Amino acid sequence: MYEKVEVWQRREKDLVRYVCLKSLDMDKYAVLKADFFRSSSKAGDFDDFERQFIELMIEQSPAERCSWFDSVLEAVSAHDTYFGNE
C-alpha cells in the first residue's frame, strides 16, 4: 500500500509538483513523477497529469519502478539528479 505525497517547488520560470509515494510496508519514499507547470499551462494539463499518475501506478508496481529513500527530500534530490532537473 502507498500513500500519495505531493511536494511543490517554485523555480524561476515554473512550478514543479513532485508526486511522491510513501510505502507503508517499507516506511520509505520515492518520486513517481514530476509535473512542471508554467504560466502557459492549460486546464487540460492537470487532467493529463492525474491520468498519467494512475497509468504509472497500474502499469508497473511502484516497488519495482521507483528508487526508495528514507525521506521525501532525499527522494526528490535523487530524482532531480537523475533527470538533470537541478
pLDDT tens for 16-47 read: 999 999 999 999 999 999 999 988 878 788 88
Classify 84 in phi/psi space as left (phi over 0), alpha (psi -120 to 50) or beta: left
**Rg (Cα) of the chain, in Å, rounded?**
13
- What is the reported pLDDT for 85? 79
The mean predicted confidence, pLDDT, of the chain is: 93
Number of domains in the chain: 1
Kindly compute the dihedral angle of the four CA atoms of residues 48, 61, 6, 53, in this order, to the nearest 10 degrees: 10
Q: What confidence category does residue 13 fall into, taking pLDDT thresholds of 50, 70 and 90?
A: confident
Cell numbers describing residue 7 = 511536494
Q: What is the pTM of this model?
A: 0.90
- 56: which residues sit within 8 A by CB, 6+ positions away? 32, 33, 62, 65
- Structural domain including 36 reads 2-83
